Structure 1
Amino acid sequence: MSLFTHLLACLLGMGSWVSINGLWVELPLLVPQIPEGWYLPSYLSVVIQMANVGPLFVTLMHRFRPGKLNETAVIYLIIGVGTLAGLLLAFFWRETAVVAGAPRSVALLALTFFLSTVDCTSSVTFLPFMMRLKPRYLTTYYIGEGLSGLLPALVALVQGVGVVDCVNGTASARTANGTVTYELEARYQPANFSAEVFFFFLSAMMLVCLAAFLLLNHHPAVARERQSPEYTNGVRASDKRADPFRAVDAKPRSSFGAGTYSWRQLFYIFGVLAWVNALTNVVVPSVQSYSCLPYGNKAYHLSATMAAVSNPLACFIAVFLPIRSLLVMGVLTVVGTGVAGYIVSMAALSPCPLLVHHTSGALLIWRGPPVEEPPGGGAPLVEEPPVEEPPWWRSPPVFAWIVFVLTLSYVKVIIGLILRDEGHSALVWCGAVVQLGSLLGAVTMFPLVSVSSFFSSGDPCNTKCP
């Protein structure tokens, strides 16, 4: 194996979704400075789904004009557009224009559309490109794709995005003995560096992705790692015999790819793929704040960070356990779906989910910030009894998010390996189904989150539950 080629495959995967993942983690810094406020995530969800015009075009070209689309040229184009759009965001994200009588962040939304087109189209171009390399590098690509969410999250953590202090606000009550109770106000701490610097970082990451793609195409060390005649549909015959988890028939069972799987099995595989991506890309992330903030700001940030760590961790595990079993895939999907149901249920119960502020759940709840003296002196505030802070893994939202992302990320790798064995067109359809699942998830969750009042936000400083 070439470690150099593994590094390049990882960097290519990292560039696939780094721009949009970075934009999401930067929202707490952007929202206070734009006219849309916290309606911005809803607008971004719509814009990102509109960008599926890119993968739709590529998929239709592969279906009706096979061989006419220059895949390498498309990848160069989308990486270049992503680099330029990230650079322009650093200069123009604050710019507004009057639309329908109200100021709108036209530049931010328009540039987000181009970034989304780049990232969505990468699903149907980067994966088929990996067919040119030996199968082992596909798992490395998935590790890089997981890092595309982790790296921006870590940079945002250093930046100090979304760090909240609870400070005394207005007086809410005064007792007979003169004791005053004050409402706490959540105030965001200033960031260590600006959003402009963060967008320059995202643009630089796309440049790194471009350099990695250039080397994957032209470096002599990578040329030695391309597929040789001993591979059929990307898999050596010896590997097929040695893999006890792979279903192999001498006689083709369908006309799809290598014919390894029947049409019923293929519908099952693609159905699971769409379902898993709907959950991981849209459904559960759209209610993350509702499910975590009632347990405290620290639990919210830890759940986001540990979820970002779990994704590449699952891909790293797949390097050593490249299972292709449909049964294992189904079991892990059921487990991940069950945890997703728990997370969404806690979000629906927000701001008072299970065990929050209850004695029975004391070991699972984070302690709030220390209570300060009221401004200008006066009677002390009424304090709640302190609760001992537990290890991070014993906080319900953190543990649930780790299990959710770990299991379903591994399912995505299993499906990627299965379809990698079936050939180039199978990976094109893999990317198309990924985007279809995300689209269906967005269509389902947008009215629930943005239009109806089904979910209610929890206040990390003043949530009161019976």
Structure 2
Amino acid sequence: MSLLTHLLACLFGMGSWVSINGLWVELPLLVPQVPEGWYLPSYLSVLIQMANVGPLFVTLMHRFRPRVLNETMVIYVIICLGTVASFLLGFFWKETSTVAGTPHSVALFILTFFLAAVDCTSSVTFLPFMMHLKPQYLTTYFIGEGVSGLLPAVVALFQGVGIVQCLNSSQPLNPNLTSSNSSDLQAEYQPANFSVEVFFFFLSLVGLLAVLLLNYHPAVAKDYTNSQDSQDQNSAKETYQKHKRWDEQKPMIDLNTPTNHKRRSSFGKGTYSWMQVLYIFGILCWINALTNVVLPSVQSYSCMPYGNKAYHLSATMAAVSNPLACFIAMFLPVRSLLLMGGLTLFGSGIGAFIMGMAVLSPCPLLVNETSGGVVIVFSWIFFILSLSYVKVIIGLILRDEGHSALVWCGAVVQLGSLLGAVTMFPLVSVFGFFSSGDPCNTKCS
């Protein structure tokens, strides 16, 4: 295996969602300068889900008009579109237009829609493209996909996004005169070390160079699996590994049913029954709804009552946990469906705890205790760690089933995100079901 190809596969995966993830981490800098204020995340959520027309179109074309779309050309088009949209965002994100007598960030919305269309469509194009490389590089791709959330978070950390200073709301201009009567503190975000424009220009280049090198660098050519000999060798090797490590490779739902008595499906290579296929895709849809939309939409509600430090630690460590889970899966690729279900239940249970703390905001459990912040940070770490590992294992299983299986994998990922958004948007933005905690004032008994 080539270290360079691993690096490029990682960069390729990182380019899948880095633009939208970067947009989210910049919210503390965007919100004070746009007319929508803190309603901006709600608008962005709707736009991102509307952008699912991209993967829907690709999936339908793959199903009804196979071989009409050139997969590599589609990847080039969407990456170039994403690069241009991110570059233009650096110039026009503050521009406003009047709609129905009210100023709105129309340019920001339009460019966000194109960025989201690119990132959503990457789910049904980037994964199938990885079929051109050896199976080992798929896990590296998932590591890169995890880094797509970590990289913007690290850059934003150096940028100084979200640093809050608590000021006395009635503090006089003369610092030598203090007010002893007022105890209310007002949160004020500090200026960034570099501008939003520089941040967007940096993100606009991520992914474009990787896909060019992945296609044309001579060192990568030997890692392609186009020849029949290579495919036969890989197939023989996979068969050997399945027999050698049956405890890792055998799909386990019903241990008492002999394999040759199971009714196989026509999905992929027919390795799994239809019940197992539905089981795999059901879990995939569920965990992507939780990790992509449902829990991230309430992260501030679950963490902010414990303080600004707990919020930023949970966001940063959750971003680290994703690629860490992919790295673990590289050395422990256990494909047991039974383990998959167990980890899903474990991660979902932690997610239920996090959701409970968000519902109780601004006064969740242990809100005035240091242990409360520690618990919520570790909850986010183990939530992302367990479900990200399940994502990678499902990706490896579907990669073994062929190109079509990976296309459907990307489609189900987007379906899960869509269902999560449809569920959470009215709860958060319409009915106001959650209440924010103040990072400077905690008023819980």
Q: Using structure 1 for the length normalisation, give the TM-score.
A: 0.89
Q: How does 1:417-432 map to 2 (within 5 A)?
A: 417-432=396-411
Task: Say if 1:236 and 1:221 are closer, same or farther in 2 by CA, change over 3 A.
Answer: farther
Q: Distance between the aligned counterparts of 1:233 and 1:156, measured in 2? A: 44
The Cα offsets for residues 292-330 of structure 1, whole Å up to 9 and x where unpaired, read as 000000000000000000000000001100111101100
Q: In the TM superposition, what is the alpha-carbon distance from 1:103 to its structure 2 partner?
A: 0.3
Quote the residue 1:246 is aligned against.
Answer: 249
What is residue 137 of structure 2 aligned with on the other side? 137
Deviation at 1:231, TM superposition (A): 4.8
Measured after TM superposition, the shift of residue 349 of structure 1 is: 0.3
Counterpart mapping for 1:122-271 below 5 A: 122-170=122-170, 180-205=181-206, 209-227=207-225, 228-231=230-233, 236-244=238-246, 245-247=248-250, 253-271=264-282
Cα distance in structure 2, aligned partners of 1:56 and 1:297: 39
User: How many Å separate the matches in 2 of 1:168 and 1:55?
Assistant: 49
Residue in 2 that maps onto 1:442: 421
Letter in 2 for 1:224: K
1:78-130 Cα distance to aligned partner (Å, 9 max, x none): 00000000100000000010011100000000000000000000000000000
Question: Which secondary structure state, in structure 2, belongs to the residue aligned with residue 229 of structure 1?
Answer: helix
Cα displacement string for residues 254-280 of structure 1 (whole angstroms, at most 9, x for unaligned residues): 100010100000000000000000000
* Structure 2: distance between partners of 1:252 and 1:422: 17
**Partner of residue 55, structure 1:** 55
**Alpha carbons of structure 1 residues 12 and 42: separation in structure 2 relative to 1, 3 Å:** same
Q: How far is 1:212 from its partner? A: 1.7
Corresponding position: 1:355 with 2:370:
no
Question: Contact 1:234–1:421 at 8 Å: present in 2 too?
Answer: no
Matches within 5 A, 1:339-378: 339-357=350-368, 362-365=369-372
Going from structure 1 to structure 2, the CA distance change for 1:233 and 1:42 (only over 3 Å counts) comes to farther
Distance in 1 between the 2:71 and 2:193 partners? 40
Moved more, 104-113 or 60-69: 60-69
Distance in 2, matches of 1:398 and 1:36, equals: 30
Deviation digits for residues 212-259 of structure 1, max 9, x if unmatched? 212222223222112213256797322332332223757981100010
Is 1:59–1:124's contact at 8 Å kept on the other side of the alignment? Answer: yes
SS of residue paired to 1:98: strand
What secondary structure sits across from 2:443 in the alignment? coil
Q: CA deviation at 1:422?
A: 0.3
Report what 1:400 is aligned to: 379
Q: 2:331 matched to which residue of 1?
A: 320
Report the more deviating stretch, 430-439 or 227-236: 227-236
- Following TM superposition, by how much is the alpha carbon of 1:68 offset from its aligned partner in structure 2, in angstroms? 1.3
**C-alpha separation in 2, matches of 1:258 and 1:252:** 13
Counting aligned pairs with the same residue, the percent is 73
1:192 counterpart letter in structure 2: N
Kindly state the Cα deviation for residue 58 of structure 1 after the two structures are TM-superposed: 0.5
The separation in 2 between residues aligned to 1:111 and 1:59, in whole angstroms, is 23
1:365: how far off?
4.6
CA shift, 1:52, in A, is 0.3
Q: Which amino acid aligns with 2:31?
A: V
Q: Distance in 2 between matches of 1:9 and 1:234?
A: 24
Deviations 1:403-424 (A, max 9, x none): 0000000000010011000000
1:411 corresponds to:
390
Structure 1 residue 428 displacement after superposition: 0.1
Do the aligned residues in 1 keep the contact of 2:365 with 2:372 (CA within 8 Å)? Answer: no
- Deviation per CA, 1:357-382: give whole Å up to 9, x if none: 2xxxx34156xxxxxxxxxxxxxxxx
Q: Which residue of 2 aligns with 1:384?
A: none
1:113 aligns with 2:110: no
User: Stretches of 4+ moved more than 6 A in 1?
Assistant: 232-235
Partner in structure 2 of residue 75 of structure 1: 75
Structure 1, unmatched stretches of 5+, are: 172-177, 367-394
Q: 1:312 to 1:72 in 2, by over 3 A?
A: same
Match of 1:272 among 275, 283, 291: 283
Deviation (angstroms), 1:167: 1.2
CA contact (8 A) 1:230 1:236 kept: no
- More off after superposition, 224-233 vs 123-132: 224-233
Structure 1 residues 70 and 189, CA gap change in structure 2 (3 angstroms):
same
CA distance in 1, matches of 2:58, 2:97: 33
Residue type of the alignment partner of 1:243: R
Does structure 1 retain, via aligned residues, the 8 Å contact 2:146–2:322? yes
Partner in structure 1 of residue 443 of structure 2: 464
In structure 2, distance between residues paired with 1:13 and 1:347: 31
The 8 Å contact of residues 231 and 237 in structure 1, kept in 2 or not, is answered as no
Structure 2 residue runs of 5 or longer lacking an equivalent are 172-178, 252-258
**Cα distance change of structure 1 residues 150 and 61 upon mapping to structure 2, 3 Å threshold:** same
Q: Given that residues 287 and 344 in structure 1 are in contact (C-alpha distance below 8 angstroms), is that contact kept between their aligned partners in structure 2? A: yes
Give me the whole-angstrom Cα distance separating, in 1, the residues matched to 2:110 and 2:235.
40
Hey, what does 1:12 align to over in structure 2? 12
The code of the aligned residue for 1:412 comes to K
CA spacing shift, 1:352–1:235, aligned 2, 3 Å: farther
